[in-house]
Each structure stands twice: as C-alpha cells, then as structure tokens.
Structure 1
Amino acid sequence: MSEEITLAAPKPLTPLQEFWFYFKQNKGAVVGLVYIIFVLLMALGADFVAPHLPSEQFRDSLLAPPVWMDGGSWQFILGTDDVGRDILSRLIYGARLSLLVGCLVVIISLILGITLGLIAGYVGGALDALIMRLVDIMLALPSLLLALVLVAIFGPSIVNASMALAFVALPHYIRLTRAATLSEVGRDYVVASRVAGAGKFRQMFINILPNCLAPLIVQASLGFSNAILDMAALGFLGMGAQPPTPEWGTMLADVLQYAQSAWWVVAFPGIAILLTVLAFNLMGDGLRDALDPKLKQ
C-alpha cells in the first residue's frame, strides 16, 4: 500500500516580509540603508559621539592635519579647519542638520504635492488644467536657480532655504500623484465606491491614495537626496545656513581657499555629501524594486 505524501503549502509572507525579501536582493540598496541608519544614529547622538562642540575653537591647532598624517593627533581625527574647529565634530553635527532639512523638504512637498495631484487627477477639468500649467511653468525654470531667487527674496536662512527647496520639489510630486490617480480613477473599486455614495474626499484620500503610495515613496527617497544636495549647494553659495552653523555646504564655502594647502578641510565635507546622496539613491533603487509589482514577475 503506497503512502500518500502531502506537501504543505508554503506559508504566505506578510507585506513587510515580502517587501524585505525583494529589497534585500538589491545589495546596493542594503548597503545604502545601513549607511543611512549609521548616519542617522550619529546625528541623533551627536552630543555624545562628537569629540568636541561644533563651534569650539582650538587656536593652537589651526589647519591641523588628520591623525594619519605627520603632525596629526588623535584629538582631531580628521583635522581642523582654518579657525581650529574639529572637522569630525562639525561633520557629525552637520549630518543632523542635513537630515532635518531633508525630512522637512520631503514632508512639506509630499503633503502639498499629494493634495494638489489628487485634486488635479480626480476633479479634472479647468482646475486640472490650471494646476498642471503652473507645474509646467515651474518645471521650465532650473530648480536651483528658482530656489536661489526665492531665498534672495525672503532672506538667506536655513528655514527659508528649506521652504524654497520644498517649493521647487513640488511639481514632481504633483505630476506623479496625478498620473497615479488617473490610472486608478476608472477602476471598478472606485466606481463601486462612487455608486455606494462615497464623497470626493473619501474617494481621493481613502480609496485612491493608498494605491498610489508606492511610486511616491520611491520619489520621496530620491527627493531626500536631492534636498541634501541642493541645501549643500545653497550653503556653498551663502544662501543657506549661515556661519558658524555646521552645515556641509557652508563648511566647503568657508575653507575653499585652503583646498590646495590643506586638502582635508574640503575633502571630508565633500565626501560626506557624496556618500549620503549616493546612499539615498541606492536605497531609492531598492524601494523601486521592492514596491513596483512589474519588477516582481
């Protein structure tokens, strides 16, 4: 008598497990995520991790080299700048400011972009045409130039620079949300909800929006890196954070004249910007792989 072998069906994955399964297949995205977590922890614990205060000056150690060079010391692992401030401490505190600005820019532009995109895609008509023509006008202008104009009007500061960057990032979220809304508005579940008497607000924010979040999450991760890079550019041009605020772009602008004689004062802030922006871009690729159903076939 032959024995019947029954194969147990595989246990279905939870949404979080499924996301991590596809995300971890992109090794670059995992590396980017690990680096972002490391920078976040350093930024949150800057008061305990940084060896010195960001504005503390050591007048007897001006332009001190990194520890591995002749004349370097463990007191200043990455050296000091032209007024004797520890570069490592300023980089750690600068990470806090850069991540805060990135969060502020992404949150503001995401909320406004989703709202206007949903209205344009769902309501349509003249309101849709008006919103999209304004978006086209904004996209016709170079984003950094537009941000510079806005900061010049309202005055150079970290808050005004963040508001300007959120404004120039707005068109991308509006267009992306509108396109996703147009692809969902004719589906059966939306039509059935409309027949059942659901109002426009419920249709847009309860029924349609959850199905549009995947591309918006990917765009937000990429927008985070753009915000950090643009804020560094504004700081370098003197229109962002003002000295002695420890911001990576401002750090570059303050010591540019020492680029040949003391390379470390320029190299380390530039490397911090490069690695952080690269990490967010790599993580964005991983989010796209994990959230896009077309790539899971």
Structure 2
Amino acid sequence: MNSGSSWDFRDKQELIASQEYNKEGYIIEKADFQHLELIKNAVQKAYCDFCNINEKEVQDLENAHLSISHDKSNDLRLHIMQAIYQNTGFHKNYYYAAKNIIHSLCGNELAMQKRPGLSVNLPQNPSDVLPIHADTWNGVSPFELNIWIPLVDCANSMCLYILKRNSYKRRLNESKELLRLTSDELFNELRDDLTWIPIEYGQILAFDQSLPHGYSLNEERNTHWSINCRFKGLHTPYWDKKLGEYFMPITVKNCTRLGMDYSHPESWI
C-alpha cells in the first residue's frame, strides 16, 4: 500500500519510524525501562528457581552457562516459560515496554501472541541455533509485528540476524530456487547478505517477520537471553495462527465492544 496520500494522517514520528522499518525491515527503539525491569526480574526469578531445583549455583544471566549445561538449556527455557506465563502480568509489562513503537507501526487496537518465545543461547551450543526462516513461509500472517527484547547486551554472534528488505527482494529476483534450499543451504547462500543486529539491554527491536532471520551459533563468552512476541491489528487477517488460540485481544476499544454486542431489533413498534 502506497503512502503519501492526502488521507494519510499519521504524524511525523510515525512516518519516520515507518520509513526506517520499510527500508531496513526493522527498527530499534528505547524500551519503557520500568516495565522492562519487571520482565527481566520475572525471568531471573524463574532462572533462580530452576538452579535451586537442580542444585546449581545461580549466576547472572550473562553467565548462565557456568551453571547450565548444554543438554539442560531447553529444560531451562521451558521451565521459565511455564513460570512467567501463568498470568497476564508478564504480557502486560511486555506490551507496555514496547507500546510506543507498537502503536506507531501496528495500531492501538491489538491482538498479542498468547505465549511469547524465549531464547536462551549458551556459548558454543549447536542445539540453541535457530535456523534461517521467515515466519510467513509457515502460515504466519504478514500483518504481524515481531517485538524482540534482549535481556542482555547482544553483539556479534549473540545477535539476531536478518536479511534486509532490499537484499531479500534482490535475491528472490535473482533466483526463485532459494526457497527450495534446506535451511543450512539457504544460510550459506545468503550469509554474506545477512545483517547481525547489535542491541543493548534497554532497547527493543521491532522487525518484519516476513523477512528471513534467525540465530547462528553463539561464539561469544556470554549467554544470550531474549524474548520475542508478535502483535497485530485486531481486525487484520489471520492465517494459521488464530485469534483465541495463538493470539488474544488486548486493547479492544469501546465502540468495538458495543458493536460486537449489538443486536438489531427484529421489528419496530
């Protein structure tokens, strides 16, 4: 959809954010730190509980690999996810941590992913690699916005990588055979065009999940921690991920509520 119409009433800040997002396929913004700290505290508490249950010494998040072995990283991830998603307080803090950029790019009447994803990537652990993919290749709606929040500073191989929009279009135009490659073949084919996005704790990454992205092997000294969660306009089309199953409505406005409850009179007196 082209912008620039006289009926485009978005403000200057929205337009600037949208232009960068459209060009690069992502944008980095500051998080609301109060809500970000509540998110991190919840994850840290669940991590400490896991260490205590398994009689492991508690480390700070960056050094979690000193207490968690490679074969336990997925058990840790599942334990934390089960703990933090028991009520909607975590989801609310997540939304408010990124509210400004979500509203700028996605709107303010929203649906939110019911179970955000948690990544714990230990150094040199092949099991923590996320192969290159685009979510829309697997039935995910192109109307979704992925909000990715690091819980530690991420540099080099700790970063999420992405194929920027122009590079993706160019490579698809050059060869339609790309999508027939295995994930390993595709990563090797695109590697020189990929961008690893450095980001610090206190920032959030909003990115277009229809672009190829993933995690390579963490070759740094610290453990990677991040959470990702999808948001979409409540009334935009859903593909395989349905409202009420994968997504939940979080900011249903009053006129929408009244309209949903409206009952037209069958006859007039």
Q: Where on the TM-score scale, by shorter chain, does this alignment land: which range?
A: under 0.3
* Structure with the larger helix share: 1
* Structure with the larger strand share: 2
Higher relative contact order by CA 8 Å / sep ≥ 6: 1 or 2?
A: 2
Over alpha carbons, which structure has the higher Rg? 1
Q: TM-score, length-normalised on structure 2?
A: 0.27
